[in-house]
Amino acid sequence: MIVITNFLRSLFLSIIFSFVAPMLLIGGFLLTVSLLAYIPGLQAITDAIATPILEFLSIFGSGTPLGGLFVICSTFSVAGALFEVYAYYRCQILR
């Protein structure tokens, strides 16, 4: 019984971390780009960087970048869960 609880805890943590990681990476990048826009002379460059990223996210989010970010994070979460299940399965076979 302890094995299943350890597996579920590990699976839950990998799902959470796999969901949060792309959100922090994309959000941190967009935050950095938006903060660089306050430096004189860099506003045009930062707009040229941020606009395609927001358009790319809005493709996945049915018109909203936040929805696209959630879709990408959910996809990463499923991939992380599948990898965790595979790693657990391989660990059980190799014992």
- Note the pLDDT of residue 95: 67
Cα distance between residue 50 and residue 2, in whole Å: 47
Q: What is the CA radius of gyration of the chain?
A: 19
- Note the pLDDT of residue 3: 78
- 40: number of Cβ within 10 Å: 6
**Closest of 31, 29, 8, 27 to residue 19, by C-alpha:** 27
Q: pLDDT digit of tens for each residue in the chain (95 aa)?
A: 787 888 999 999 999 999 999 999 999 999 999 999 999 999 999 999 999 999 999 999 999 999 999 999 999 999 999 999 999 988 877 76
In the chain, where do the E strands start and end?
A: none
- Note the pLDDT of residue 93: 75
Which parts of 37-64 fold into alpha helices (H)?
A: 43-60
pTM of the model: 0.86
